[in-house]
Structure formats: C-alpha cells, structure tokens
Amino acid sequence: MGAVWLAAAFGSAFAGEADVVGVDIRPSGDGTFRIDVTVRHADTGWDHYADRWEVVAPDGAVLGVRVLLHPHVDEQPFTRSLSGVRIPQGIRTIRVRARDKADGYGGRETVVSVPGR
C-alpha cells in the first residue's frame, strides 16, 4: 500500500524528460522549412507536461521554437508542426530538443539532415 501511495503522491516526479522521437523536415518553397516533431512525455497535468520544442543549429543558435500550450495526457506520443523556419544556407544538420515544464531539457534529442544540403 505504501508504494501505491508514494507513486500517487509523487507521480509528476516520475514523468521523466521529454523525448523527441520523430522529426520530418520539408522545404516550403520560399526558402523556409516546415518541421513536424513527435514528442513523447508522460504528461501528468498542468504542473508537468512537455511545453516546447526547439530547432537548434550546430553552433547552438535556436532557429525556431514551438510552444506547447497544454498537457497531452491522453495523446502520447504527439506531433506538432512549425512552419516558416529559416535555416541558414551553410547549415547541413539541425538538432531538435524538447522541454518539459518540471525538468527542462535533457530528454532524447534528434539530429536530422536539412533536405537539399
């Protein structure tokens, strides 16, 4: 009984970090890209949920941010898109990372090639 109480009392502490489990990047034709990112996180509610993901250049510059405005408790993993991302011409790969409200960054990141480069 004690273990059940412990899990219930501290459930949000065990939600873990937000992991990027899929990335699809496509040119938009106007020099920008549309990026679809799939994130997995054991969202527990408003206090502990995946609240954003970022597109990062190899030098650490943030090229795009998708803010996630609510928990996805019953939708895991989930995919959200960001259009209009400008990736400078010399960049051949990007890194995508996700953040959760309680733990910040630290989950699985994904590196993908920029199409046409």
The span from the CA of 81 to the CA of 68, in Å, is 11
Nearest Cα neighbor of 46 from 67, 72, 19 is 72
Q: What is the pLDDT at residue 74?
A: 86
Q: What is the pLDDT of residues 8-60, one digit of tens each?
A: 333 334 457 999 999 999 999 898 999 999 999 988 889 899 999 999 999 99
Q: What is the pLDDT of residues 94-109, one digit of tens each?
A: 999 999 998 899 999 9
Domain coordinates in residue numbering, the chain: 2-113
Q: Evaluate the CA torsion angle 102, 103, 108, 112 in order and state its sign.
A: positive
pLDDT higher at 76 or 53: 53
The model's pTM? 0.84
Q: Which CATH number fits domain 2-113: 3.30.70.360, 2.40.10.120, 3.90.180.10, 2.60.40.150?
A: 2.60.40.150
Q: Evaluate the CA torsion angle 70, 100, 36, 72 in order and state its sign.
A: negative
Q: What is the pLDDT of residues 60-71, one digit of tens each?
A: 999 999 999 998
Does residue 110 register a pLDDT over 80? yes
Q: Which two tokens stand for residue 18?
A: 């937000």
Dihedral angle over CA of 24, 73, 69, 115, nearest 10: 0
